[in-house]
Amino acid sequence: MALLAYLIAFGSFMTFQAVVLRSHAGGYLVNLVDCLTGKIFFCQARGRLKKERVSIVVGDRVEVEEVDEVALTGVITAQLPRRNLLERPTLANVDQVVIVQAVKQPDFSPLLCDRYLVHFQLAMPFSKPVICFNKSDLASQNEQLALRSIYEPLGYFVIFVSARTGAGIDDLRNLLSGKISVFAGASGVGKSTILNNLSPELELKTGVMENDFGVGRHTTTASELYCLNLNNQTWVADTPGFNLYDFLHPEPKDVADQFPEIAEQKDNCHFKDCLHTVEKGCAVTNIDERRYQSYLTLVEESKLVRQEARKSSTKVEKSVKTVGGDGNAVSIPRLNKRYRQTSRRKQKQESFITDPDLADDLTPESFSDLDEDFDEDSE
């Protein structure tokens, strides 16, 4: 009570650190990590941040001023430096990714699991994903052992839980403790249900399995960060299921690097450009058949992605870009096109089109000037 009274009296004059939980109604829902009240505040970004084109995403650490404890509002005045930034889903300052898969209902898909592994190994090369098998109460010990034998020898941490019975939930809670984690997986595997089990007060909406087809419904429509323990700063982001085109695809020759059992053998192949599919002299052997089928599928998908990219004349921008020089490069989200400033090259082009006098005066030097401006804008 004393802390609340202090916030009411002096909160508007203080600066607090906060974690962005999600975007909401043109602003952001944040949790003030300094005061540990557990209350969620609605904050707008200061106009200066918008002018400076600072993009705030889920997981960002920010500074908040003008805190109103009664109205639960505040103003975001600064974005603190990020440790990292995930592109898909767009999340900042992530420590680890937990790939949630169901043992049954829906049946476990090795290909889908391997797609998630490759995606997050590319997106977060500094942290190996954790594999969490939910609905373990529906699988026998032999079935669980068979799944462990696929991934644990490759260096992946594997954990079995049951959101229905509570088995393994305490072990998962210890794994998440003190970190910002991301739950990723297909719809229906039980990501939101596990979160409700870890923290019942969340009361997240959960879906019902479509028994006729063995697939789940989308109940999570946007990424959101939840606090499981304020005292030791444990946060988990629940994310929507991925579509096929959401997954990252490396170059076909680089897919092997995302499969540890293939990467450790590929240097022994007779040809350096071996794709480890049907090439003569390939040294890759003794691979789990399901993993190898996933590898072959991902190689073919990567080839198709590259072919489509070459056919298409329309470039699809990434949602994240890198700015800054060597040693100072940082990743930031791209602004929507309608918020971007028009480049000097485009301004000149438009002026030539709209002003007939300028069009009559065009010379070869005019195009040279445009090229110089384009080079400057590219930098």
Domain boundaries, the chain: 2-81, 91-244, 249-311, 345-379
* Residue among 261, 265, 295 at smallest CA distance from 283: 265
pLDDT tens track for 4-41: 555 555 555 689 999 999 887 788 999 987 666 678 89
Overall average pLDDT of the 356-378 stretch: 52
Overall average pLDDT of the 119-127 stretch: 92
The CA-atom distances, in angstroms, between 363 and each of 16, 303, 358 are 58, 45, 10
What is the pTM (predicted TM-score) of this model?
A: 0.75
End-to-end CA gap in the chain = 54
CB 295 within 8 A of CB 256: yes
Overall average pLDDT of the 50-59 stretch: 88
At 366, the pLDDT band (50, 70, 90 cuts) reads low
Topology of the domain comprising 91-244:
Rossmann fold (3.40.50)
The Cα–Cα gap between 317 and 138 comes to: 43
Whether the predicted pLDDT of 358 surpasses 60: no
The Cα–Cα gap between 111 and 109 comes to: 5
CATH class of 2-81: mainly beta
Identify the CATH number of the domain defined by range 249-311.
1.10.40.50
pLDDT for 352 equals 58
Asked whether this chain's domains 2-81 and 91-244 adopt the same fold, the reply is: no
CB 247 within 8 A of CB 190: no
**What's the one-letter identity of residue 349?**
Q
pLDDT tens track for 74-98: 999 999 999 999 988 889 999 999 9
pLDDT tens track for 231-277: 778 899 988 777 777 788 899 999 999 999 999 999 888 888 899 99
Q: Which residue has the tokens 């028994």?
A: 211
| 257: three-class secondary structure by DSSP | helix
> What's the whole-number average pLDDT of the chain?
82
